[in-house]
Amino acid sequence: MADVKISALTNLGATPDGADELVIVDKDGGGASGTTKKVTVTDLLSGAGSALTVTDGGSVTEANVSQITVGTGLSLVDDATNGHVTINNTITDTDTTYDLASAQSTNDVDITLTGSDATTDTIKIVAGTNITLTDNGSNQVTIDASGGGSSTELAGSAIKYSVRTSAYGTANDHEGQTVYFGSTTGMTAGSIYYWDGTNWQTTSNNAQSTAEGPIGIALGAASATDGVLTQGVYYYSTVPGSNGDVLYLGASGNLTATAPVTNGKILRVMGQNLDGTRILFQPSQDFIELGNPTGNITVIGQEVDFVTSDTAIDTIGEGEGTVVKIGSDVVVKGDVYYYGASGWAAANAGAEATTKGLVGVALDTTSATGMLTEGVIKLASTPLGTSPAVGDVLYLSTTNGELTVDAPTGSTEYVRVMGYYLGSDKAYFSPSQDWIDIA
């Protein structure tokens, strides 16, 4: 109603009923107690269950109001207990489309999921990806990146798993497991790098140090922001080899379809050529160094070893070949022993019992280290006999633990070939399985 002076209001003619009249006393209206006026009100609030609408920032105090509607969006409901108002947090939303607003084109959006155990997880939708969350009709939400984004990612603090919804066609297209650690810069997208514990370095199959450990394909110049693909599918304009070929680590951060065969090269499988442009990148955790290794190599068994060395055999007791590890008898390096019921004892051509059977040369001072039964060995002393020469046949001597270039001739002695002399007190030790009793 328009503004009206109190004196111009209609006089109250009867007791107000409280339903449609508001009583106002005009003290200036005459008489000792003034003149009683009234204002007629439509749908005056009274009793529980009534409603009051407040607009334009207005306010109200009313004990009997059970519901207040502010504008068109918020409803506060009286809980019928001392006029308290509660906000019901159980919300049923039948909408299936959620607009993240146009600000997403320049700002990331976080969707926070809070569980009953007070844990909180966050789904991050990166600015500009135009991702749509869609109800699939089974109370499930699917993530559709077809609205312009090329991939969808499940992201962690240092690792992401990405999948594509569009066709491959541009170099560096990929999907799979990507890591984001280290602060390496100046990387080349598509090149292969290994992690040295501090930085990403260019791989090479020329040495173990540049071929082992975590390996990945650089997705850009900076490892921390662009990432390194450690497993998945990657798109090159051309891939080595033919469709289906196994791919190996090559030189200078490259791949090759030709397995390396040169001594010293590292053979490590990197994955497979899928269709000439895409590869399945799946680096093996194992690798093989080809050719001559550095240092001694021993193939260890329970009682037999096979020993090789990449250095010259020039110390007494050093050897290469078949090594038997039986017992723990005290022996002398470089001497010859036979094995019998009492363990290892010095071999001697003066009796059949000390000539026949299993014989070996001691590699150390205990038989537990091993006894060389065939191979190359540095003897404890130069073979006995007349002027030993390279290539001479070696026989068991009648002196304990010795070899000789002169075959025994005594009537109570035995002849057994033990191998060949190589010079410098070294022998190719290859005992014959036969022995001869000289009559």
Specify the number of domains making up the chain: 5
Q: Residue 21 falls within a domain, yes or no?
A: yes
> Do 312 and 267 sit in the same domain of this protein?
no
Label the pairing between strands 319-324 and 371-378: antiparallel
> Minimum mean pLDDT among 154-158, 318-322, 324-328, 401-405: which range?
154-158
Q: Tell me, yes or no, whether 130 and 176 share the same domain.
A: no
Task: Assess if residue 213 is contained within a domain.
Answer: yes
267 and 393 co-located in one domain? no
Q: Does residue 94 sit within a domain? A: no
Q: Select from 267, 288, 309 the last residue of a domain.
A: 288
DSSP classification of residue 67: E
pTM: 0.41
Task: Give the C-alpha separation, 107 to 251, whole Å.
Answer: 42
- Cα angle 213, 174, 194 (rounded to 5 degrees) comes to 15
Looking up tokens 């055999």 gives: 313
Same domain, 223 and 129: no
pLDDT confidence band for 74 (50 / 70 / 90): low
Dihedral sign (CA 61, 62, 66, 70): negative
- Domain membership flag for residue 96: no
pLDDT score of 131 more than 80 = no
Mark whether 80 and 192 lie in a shared domain: no
Q: Is the pLDDT of residue 367 over 50?
A: yes
Residue with tokens 């920032």, as numbered in its chain? 57
Structural domain span for residue 33: 6-40
For 109, 163, 195, the CA distances from 153, given in Å and listed in that order, are 14, 7, 23
Same domain? 35 vs 110: no
- Residue 367 in 3-state DSSP? coil
Instruction: Examine the pLDDT at 414 and tell me if it is beyond 60.
Output: yes
Quickly list H helices, 109-220: none
Give the Cα separation of 424 and 381 in Å (integer): 9
What are phi and psi for residue 386, nearest 5 degrees?
-85, 115
Question: Residues 81, 110: one domain?
Answer: no
Average pLDDT, the chain: 80
Q: How far apart are CA 248 and CA 256, in angstroms?
A: 5
Domain co-membership, 284 together with 303: no
Cβ proximity of 394 and 337 under 8 Å: no
Query: Does 242 lie in the same domain as 171?
Result: yes
301/423 same-domain check: yes
